Amino acid sequence: MSGSPGPTPRRFYIRTYGCQMNEHDSERIAGLLSAEGMEPTDDVEAADVVVLNTCCIRENADNKLYGHLGRLKALKAERPEVQIAVGGCLAQKDRELVVQRAGHVDVVFGTHNLADAPALLERARWEGPIVEIVEEHEAYPSALPARRDVAHSAWVTIQIGCDNSCAFCIVPIVRGREVSRRLGDIVREVEELVADGVSEITLLGQNVNSYGRDLGAGQYRPRFADLLRAVDAVDGIRRIRFTSPHPKDLRPETIAAMAECPAVCEHLHLPLQAGSNETLARMHRGYTAERYLARLAAARAAIPDLAVTTDVIVGFPGETEADFERTLEVFDEAAYDAAYTFVFSPRPGTPAAGMSDDFVPADAVRDRMRRLTEHVERHALVRHQARVGRVEEVLVDGPSKTDPAVLAARTRQNKLVHFVPRDPTDPPRPGTYADVRVTRAAPHWLRGDHVATTVAPRPTKVRIPVTAV
């Protein structure tokens, strides 16, 4: 006689807002819920547990969260047994406001107690809504299990928190002080990822350049350059990326390690934020435009074919037209491959939020953003056009989102390349390395012809999808 089937596993759905750090946290949450016997789903309507992992860097992230919570209210009314959890940075900062604006939320947890998420959900099933925020890290996030949605690439957290005091940034408030992870633990995780089929990793930290300052005693403390060299030495790693570095901490030994380590990609994301020294001083960035450009020049001199991207904030309080013109001048001198541009958004609790008397009029901000966008796209197009005719090694991500017959891939410089496989009946799988000859260029992508497949992906385990926005 066959036994009766067991109970149907509960299903979870995770939506992520914000940066790579949040996405990696979501992988940890997915791993914890899977360890409890739950199964993932990409259909929110079918989920028994809905987790929203939040960001609070910009106001738009708040609006997205509360809009989604409003839609989930109908789901909760239809299926009262569904549990809704809000975690991450906004939960850490606005715990009471989340409950006030969305009373149908079952669990609110912060950035420092990811490990508690399954237990909090179980408690809430019997005790009712729970808000539990701790102010210090109870466990290093990378000590928790993870489930990734990409088999060949992985994030590895090397540091949490931030010791900088940028006037516009709320990260130190919601993520806490810098805590570096031990170098040996990082290397061991990378080795395990390689054994699992990963060939590309991205080292994550709020300021990777300051890695190791809080580690060790006496004369030896590992620095970021030491970490790059240690990870580069792991057999099987073909690409190493990292984000984000702070310009004031970009040291010569880090540039040397980037140049000398074969697996470290020729891509540097170096946030400028503003080109005016007066604005940089109000931002508390810790460098001048001249110092920034000198370090950028040193990196380009040491690393052939280096692609450089940046962040720029438009309309920081007190920014004059002359200040903005200086930003455009620095931007032209740096000639970036790409840039992420943001309109200043005051975040409660930051020094910049108290500068309301110096807020820049909205019409001036819109005009400046338009002009900056023109500079961004012009430089990006020039940089991309210079690659036409070259054969680039790319790592295949999978089919294009707009055309399944076209594959999307990334170069070592992190440039998006679209190409049609030579044999459409047997296209390169995600995780494959291929050579592609670039034939067309646009500001945000390249198009190319498939020349050859060079390295096939190794077998990997089944992955659990995590939805990100």
**Among candidates 34, 47, 35, which has minimal Cα distance to 84?**
47
CB neighbours of residue 3 within 10 Å: 5
Helices 117-127/20-35 angle, 10° precision: 60
Q: Are 148 and 154 in contact (CB under 8 A)?
A: yes
Which pLDDT score, from 0 to 100, does residue 461 have? 42
Which pLDDT score, from 0 to 100, does residue 464 have? 41
What is the C-alpha to C-alpha distance for residues 330 and 323, in angstroms, rounded to an integer?
11
What is the C-alpha to C-alpha distance for residues 315 and 149, in angstroms, rounded to an integer?
37
Give the sign of the dihedral formed by CA 29, CA 30, CA 35, CA 41: positive
What is the C-alpha to C-alpha distance for residues 330 and 455, in angstroms, rounded to an integer?
40
Dihedral Cα 319, 246, 337, 199, nearest 10 deg = -150
CB neighbours of residue 48 within 10 Å: 18
What is the C-alpha to C-alpha distance for residues 112 and 109, in angstroms, rounded to an integer?
8
Name residues whose C-beta falls within 8 Å of residue 68's C-beta, 6 or more positions apart in sequence. Answer: 15, 52
The CB-based long-range contact list for 288-292 (8 Å cut-off, 24+ gap) reads 289/326, 289/330, 291/247, 291/248, 292/247, 292/330
Which pLDDT score, from 0 to 100, does residue 421 have? 95
Element holding 26 (H helix, E strand):
helix 20-35
**Beta strands per DSSP E along 17-135:** 39-40, 49-54, 83-88, 107-109, 130-132
At 466, list the tokens: 């995590």
Which pLDDT score, from 0 to 100, does residue 469 have? 47
Element holding 89 (H helix, E strand):
helix 89-93
What is the C-alpha to C-alpha distance for residues 236 and 256, in angstroms, rounded to an integer?
22
What is the C-alpha to C-alpha distance for residues 250 and 255, in angstroms, rounded to an integer?
7
The angle at the Cα of 278, spanning 165 to 61, to the nearest 5 degrees, equals: 50
What is the C-alpha to C-alpha distance for residues 169 and 113, in angstroms, rounded to an integer?
22
Walk me through the domains of the chain, giving residue ranges and CATH numbers: 11-132 (3.40.50.12160), 150-265 (3.30.750.210), 391-455 (2.40.50.140)
Q: Are 68 and 15 in contact (CB under 8 A)?
A: yes
The order of strands in the sheet holding 153-157 is 153-157, 200-204, 239-243
The angle at the Cα of 233, spanning 144 to 417, to the nearest 5 degrees, equals: 80
**Among candidates 140, 152, 230, which has minimal Cα distance to 187?**
230
What DSSP string describes 214-283? TS-BTTB---HHHHHHHHHTSTT--EEEEE---GGG--HHHHHHHHH-TTB-SEEE---B-S-HHHHHHH
Give the phi and the psi of residue 409 in degrees, each rounded to 5. Answer: -150, 170
**Mind listing the pLDDT tens digit of every residue in the chain (469 residues)?**
455 555 788 999 999 887 778 888 888 888 889 888 999 999 999 999 999 998 877 667 777 888 888 899 999 999 999 999 998 888 888 888 888 888 898 999 888 788 888 888 988 888 888 887 666 655 555 555 667 778 899 989 999 888 898 999 888 888 788 889 999 999 999 999 999 999 999 999 889 999 998 887 656 789 999 999 999 999 999 999 999 889 999 999 999 999 999 999 999 999 999 999 999 999 999 999 999 999 999 999 999 999 999 999 999 999 999 999 999 999 999 999 999 999 998 888 899 999 999 999 999 999 999 999 999 999 999 999 999 999 999 999 999 988 999 999 999 999 999 999 999 999 999 999 999 999 999 999 999 999 999 887 765 444 444 455 4
